[in-house]
Every structure is written in structure tokens, then in C-alpha cells.
Chain A
């Protein structure tokens, strides 16, 4: 991946993606995420949100355009926790460090720190099957934290969770972002979640995904959950929602 300019964690420049079966997922996407910025992306189903993240991580190659990244250290949290069911929580959290051949002692320290930061103490020896959906997602988060990412990519990580768990995990992500100061690109289909978590909301159109609006969110971090009932928050959510509705037309 091409290195980004100083102060930029991730930049898409006129990126397009057409799959071998002819499906055009993205067209001319230009978007950047500054260091420490937390950008959320909303868009209808099939608008190429996940493809955008896969391109950002290097898992998928773009058909056109350029992607620049500030550093190789990026964390990726998938829609599904993608835990290895035969591994315990601590072995799952330590997977990346093991693959990176981090020495055992250092690996144990990294795992302990990530487990502590995600509130998983006491569950180290549990296997994923014994955990709730929210806990599994936290293990996935902890695993990504072990690589000390300067850029965090979230692919609708809370989509399958109940409202309360989503809210708690959202607070945890905000807390981690405030502490670690990583740049974030968070994909969601929830307008409220996008406004609540993002410093900027990017709206993608229906397929092929194009950036149709970018809305700055001025509220300071950490944001309390009841901010969502604030009138100013409602106005912003309405703006994003209107842009999203317009993208269908």
C-alpha cells in the first residue's frame, strides 16, 4: 500500500471496485481519515461499505484508484467475531501476536493488557462457545488491540447485537479511542450509531457506492448514551438520514 501524507491515517483517492462477476461495488470514492479521527460510514445494504474496509486493510485490491495508509499497523474488527472455537479467550486474543512471532513473555503481557482494557478478566480460559455475542465481540476487539493499531477498521461489528449490548460496546470503543488515540473507520447501517460514534459521518449511495455527503459531528468525546436524545443530535441524525434517503433517488 502507498504511504499516506503526514497526519493522514488513511486516504482513498478515486477508488473503484468491480468484482469478476461484473458487480460494481464502489465508484470514484475519495475519502480520508486523519490521525486520531473517528470516521463513520453509513450506507444502504450493498453500497460497498464492507468492500471499502476490505480495500483499506489490503484484503481486497481496488479495480481503480489509490489507497494510502499512514502505517501498516491496522486493526480490523469483522461483522462476525471470527474467533477460533478451539482456542480459549486468551489464546484467541494472542493469535496475532503469535502469528507475528512476538516472544512468549511479551505476548503474555500484550494479551493481559488487551484483556484488561476490554473488561474480559476472569474469562481468559473460556472458549468462545461459552460466551455471549457481546463478549465474543469484545474478544475480537481485544485481539485487534494487541497489534497496537494506529488505524482501526470496524465492519458493522455490533450489527447482530441487542440494543443495550451495542450501546455498551459503543461506549467501550469511544473509551478506547479516547485512550489510544487511534484513527477509526467504522462502518454501520445505523444512522444513530454513526452520529453517536463518529467525528465525521460519510454517507455512501446505493450500489455502486459513492460518497454523497460528509457531515461533521461537533460533540466532544466521550459521548454519553443519552446524547442521542439531545435536540442537536437529532438535527444531525436528520441531516444524515436525509442524505441517505437522497442517495436512493
Chain B
């Protein structure tokens, strides 16, 4: 039997210019935030080991301890994940309600000046009311469970959707409006075929901002309304009371990652929905 030498099908190590370009582009995008992360971890270690006495290190446990105790211990991490599930449900339901309400109000305000003049000051007032001040009232009215948390979430996430959608609807190009005037288009045709599609980039900007805020709202809601399944907010509060700093840091990181994931998800949705015709301007 003789061994036959086979020619390699393709040189696996050869990197095509296109692939190289993609790698470079990924490195350019991911490099700066990863650099900041590395610097933060470095400073974190320095503070833990150089600035804090050993008996005070519970204030800032080293990163590896957060990983082993917060993420590596399945009992603790399982509890965090269950709390994340509850918070995620509140945040997503709150966000959907805020998006629907915000868009409806923005559309109504864009259609008539008197509606805008009547409602916009109240939308601004809603934004300026400290949420903690009305939390007891929400508890009185709706109890201390899921719907109260959701209402807090809606109140926190509503304003950016209203303002961004309204801005988008009112920023339609006057020349494009002229086209519709030439054909004597009605209000509905104008809204559906011109104003709303034209406002979509701004709508998605509002949704991305509100996605992050909905997570904050859900966690704030958890702190105050503790009936039913435990959310991340009350879990964070429990860890704080018990001075369990490693799981506390892990829970905070999970909250932040959830907020980031929602932000990224809406970025992806925007790219899928409007990426074919709308490219945001970037610095070269």
C-alpha cells in the first residue's frame, strides 16, 4: 500500500484581504471599550489590594472573587438568574406599554397643535416628578406586586419615546409634504406613508434610550414593591443588608448586562427595520 499525498484543499491559514478588513473593523469597534474595561479592572484590583485594609475588603471584593462567588456558585447565580427573569418581565412589559402609549401620544400631538399644547407640558412634568415621591401612591392604588413595578417602569421609560417620536414626526421634509399636498392626500395617508416612516430613526433612538430606562424602572420598582417573585432590585437590597458584596456585585453586573442587551437588541431591530435606507452619520 502506498501513501498518496493529497494537495491541501485550501490554505486554512491564508487570510483574505476581506477577512482581514473585517477583523480590523471588529478590533476598531471592540478595542476601545475592552481597553476601558481592562483599565477599570486594573484600578479595581489596585483599590482592593492597595487602598483597602484586608478586613475592609468586603467593600470592594476583587474581581476574581466576584466571578467565583457571584457567578461560579450555582445556588447564588441561580437566584440571580431567577430574579433577572422577574425583572426582565417587568421591564419588557413596561417598555411595550411605554412604547405604545408614547407613540400614540406623540402621533396625537403631531396631528393638532392644541393637543400638543394640552399634553406636552404634562409629559414634561411627568419627567420631572421624582419617582420616589409617587411610589407610595402607586402602592396605595395598585398594591405591591407586578403591576406597581410595571407602572414605575412605564413612568420612567415613557418620556424619551414621546419626545423622540414627536420630534421625528415633526421633522418631515417640507418638500416631501408638498408632494402629498399636490395629490390632496389626507391626514391618515400623510401619517402612514410619510410622517411615520420618516420618523422611524428618531422612534428607534427613543426606544433605545427607554430600553435602558425600563431596566432602571423595573429595578427601582423591585426595591419598593416586593410582593410576588423576587426581582433584581430586592435581591440587591437583600445582599446589601447581609453584606454579601461578591453576589451583590454580580447582581449589579447582571442588571447592567441586561440593560446593555436590551440597548443592543433595539440597535439591531433599528438596523433591520431602517438600516437599508438610513445610515447614521459617523465620524471617520
Contacts and interface: CB of A to CB of B under 8 A. Distances in A.
A71 to B, nearest CB: 14
B44 interface: no
Contacts of A82: 173, 175-176, 178-179
A94 to B, nearest CB: 11
Interface in B187-208: 189, 193-194, 197-198, 200
A57 B182 contact: yes
Among B180, B181, B182, B189, residue most surrounded by chain A Cβ atoms (within 10 Å): B182
Given A78-B175, A82-B179, 14 more contacts: A58-B182, A59-B178, A76-B182, A82-B178, A84-B193, A84-B197, A86-B198, A86-B278, A96-B183, A99-B183, A99-B185, A100-B183, A127-B276, A129-B277
A65 interface: no
Interface in A59-98: 59, 76, 78, 80, 82, 84-86, 95-96, 98
Interface string B244-284: 00000000000000000000000000000010111100000
Given A84-B194, A85-B278, A86-B274, A59 B175 contact: no
A57 B183 CA distance: 10
Contacts of A59: 178, 181-182
Given A99-B180, A99-B193, A86 B277 contact: yes
B193 A85 contact: no
Interface string A107-133: 000000000000000000001110000
B182 A127 contact: no
Residue picked from A82, A99, A100, A128, most chain B C-beta under 10 Å: A99
Interface residues of B, number: 21
A129 B193 CA distance: 18
A128 B279 CA distance: 13
Interface string A221-245: 0000000000000000000000000
A86 B181 CA distance: 19
Contacts of A78: 175, 178
Nearest to A144: B182
B270 to A, nearest CB: 13
B277 A127 contact: yes
Nearest to A140: B179
Contacts of B278: 85-86
B172 to A, nearest CB: 10
Contacts of B173: 82
Contacts of B178: 59, 76, 78, 82
Nearest to A128: B277
A98 B193 contact: yes
Contacts of A98: 193
A133 B117 CA distance: 41
* Residue from the set B183, B274, B279 with the largest chain A CB neighbour count within 10 Å: B183
A128 B175 CA distance: 16
B178 to A, nearest CB: 6
Contacts of A58: 182
A127 B198 CA distance: 14
B182 A85 contact: no
A76 B176 CA distance: 12
Closest 4 CB pairs of A and B: A99-B183, A82-B175, A85-B277, A86-B277
Interface in A17-46: none
Given A84-B194, A84-B197, A86-B197, A95 B276 contact: no
A127 B194 CA distance: 16
Contacts of B197: 84, 86
B10 to A, nearest CB: 33
